[in-house]
Structure 1
Amino acid sequence: MHGRESTLRMFAWLFAVAMVVAANGCAGCGQGIREPLPEDSTPGSGTSELLSNGGCPKGSKCGIDKALLASICPSGNCDTGGTGNAKGIYAATGGNYCFKAGNTAFFCPEAFVTIEKGLFLEGHYLDDPSNRTQRPVHARFEGSSTSVYVYAIHGDGTRLTIKYRVNGQDYSLTGAEVSKLILQVPGLSPGGSSGVSYELQFFPVQTEKTAKDGVSRYELRYRNTTLPDVPANWSRHCEANDEKADAFVVSFLEGQRVNSVSASVTDDATVTTMACESGSIVTCLAWGYTPWDVSTGQRDVTRDYVYRSCLQAKRAAYFVGASDFKSYTKKGTLILKRDQYGYGFEQDTIPRVEAIWGPQGAVCFNPENRRRPDAEAWAGQDPNNLNTHGVPPCSPADWSLQGKFATGPAEKQQEPSKP
């Protein structure tokens, strides 16, 4: 009799435990459990099984590390590592995104700023990237010398809008109409108000590409008008080391200022950033990594986190968080890429993971899988004994709270992306 009662009590206890588990929905079941690596894989080599995407179930890998959204160089006194031209951010490494004075790169425009005082062009002089300056923007219609008051430039969803006022009436230009207005930027000089003056004119281009990726593209032409009596030829902005179509194309990023040394991003509603398509700012947008939800147009903090990670990954700036601002790649290098959420248009399979990225560079790095192992790309370092600034290997290669974007060297059978 006692044995039968013990059996019944045990059965009742097991039944109660089962009901509790069912009621909790097995919360946390399987969290932290990873599939074993294939026998022919080694930790850090990278497997698609671990780098899955398309969502984020509850667990320690979800969410983002918002601390990494902070400015990388809040003092503004970080070592720039040379001039402020073409670090892979505003234009591809080896290119030029600075206006020329004569045959010399002079002023590097980065954003239009709309404030109560009016519209300003913001940038820096080539040899002084930490010293940002703003100059007022005026305007005239093409074929007319009469001044027009232009008070705002926006790039909502990358689409350029120019706002101006005539006789107290406000007007806006978008699409092909933006070419009707010629912008004037006077007095660019490191020493004071007098100096080099420029005129700027935008022309929409490559609309078929815009239909595919949603990025509006413009050809920006400029000319030096410092000597009004001397005819000046128009030049195309975004000079590159090749003649490809994207070499002379710009687009816009609304509401964010991007540091030209570190690619650190600061939210600022007054700013419309302008960059060349070959640089990471525009390329990441064209890859599908917008800091806003394309279905609503609203800023999304998770998408923004992945976009900022892409800014570093595209240009191989592994160690930005350690104040090493170098881009360890060369234009034309092929890479594979994917992100945790499936935001990007292309989600490549990555047989060998190079790095997993956050907004301050690589959160883990496998030197043996780096996209450019040659000494040329690693100038200043011993390619056989890299200083990785304490960045750990990707072992195993998987998403984390910090790392949401992965890259690897392109395999011949893949359709890779070009930085």
Structure 2
Amino acid sequence: MAEESPAKKLRKRVEGFLCDVSPVKDVYFDAVLQHEGGKSKVVVFRPEDHVRFHRAEKTRSLVTLEDVVLQPSTESSRKMDVFYTHSSKMSCARDLRQAFNDSFSAGPQAVQLSELLDMHTKPSRVNINVKIIQEVQRRKGEVWDGQNLLRTEYAVADTTSCTSLTVWCEHSITVGEWYNITHISVREIRGKTSLSTTKDTHIVSIPSQDTAVAAQVPAETIKCDIIGANIKNVLICPCKHKMKSMALSSPTLYCISCNTHYKSTAIIMHFSGHLDLKRETGDVMKAKIEDEVIRSAVTVHPTASQKDIIKSFIALPAMQITMHKDVIVKMEDVTQKTEITPEDELPGKVEHGEESKFYSPPDYGILFNSQVRKRKSPD
């Protein structure tokens, strides 16, 4: 008999009560399954079953999910995640042999940072009152539906502790002010707690809550020569989707995600990559650089290419560069910005640098791993 595939071996039958059934998110939705011993996140890749899941939640029916895929969860509060694929089945039982526990579907609770960081089993979402200590980094990140959105990392603190918070999309946030931030996602990855805003998050300015704990963001400023560069450009449509590489000289560009042709002038060009830096001591190091810092160091012509950007960085004089870990957050002492104009050729072959993503897509029923690849701790 042929050996079963790993996915086949993991297909199981689970039962419990459904709560927190989300709206349909394009090709999937999620929910929480309360079962003996705790709760699990359920990711459903059959949008046509949304009505049945929602009805089971409202009637508090005991449900059985058959032929599902189980995968270890990245959340410390859950042991396993359940993937309800196109081959899975759901049945409901009116004989309620267990008691429904409302605590699993209760809304996020307000917590202090020290309390949250010390929790052995952390909630999936919380509400916090924090002071914005410092903006650490701004860059683009890709979300589950392919959109390329702005993500800003802040150092935040309350009167008990400090941590980092990733804020997705544009928000009117002022460093030094206090905010009430609700529906914050809490994750624990490799023993480190990360906080991130969600689609349900609300950020409201509040009066000062007394003296916040000082939060020092580690940074290093060095004077160095730029001896190498590897810059990648990505085209972003008006709806924030990443597009396939194509010539901006075309009058229109097509976005597969939107199924729409856009004027080339409506497309945003986003740059990222890394620089090779030579310190005054002679040591050479690599540092990542994002679009905002790139545009602060050189003047980007609307038709500038990857090669144009690379040549402009190589032409810069010695710079004062501030880094947080291995990411450039500021470049100073540019006496005159370099004007970038298209060039015909750049000698030598340039390899694309790795692009950082926030990546958590559905896979239409195939077992997958949700991953967060980061330069900094969020998602």
**What range is the shorter-chain TM-score in?**
under 0.3
Larger-gyration structure (1/2): 1
TM-score normalized with structure 1 length: 0.22
Choose between structure 1 and 2: higher strand proportion: 2
More helix by share: 1
Q: Give TM-score, length-normalised by structure 2.
A: 0.24
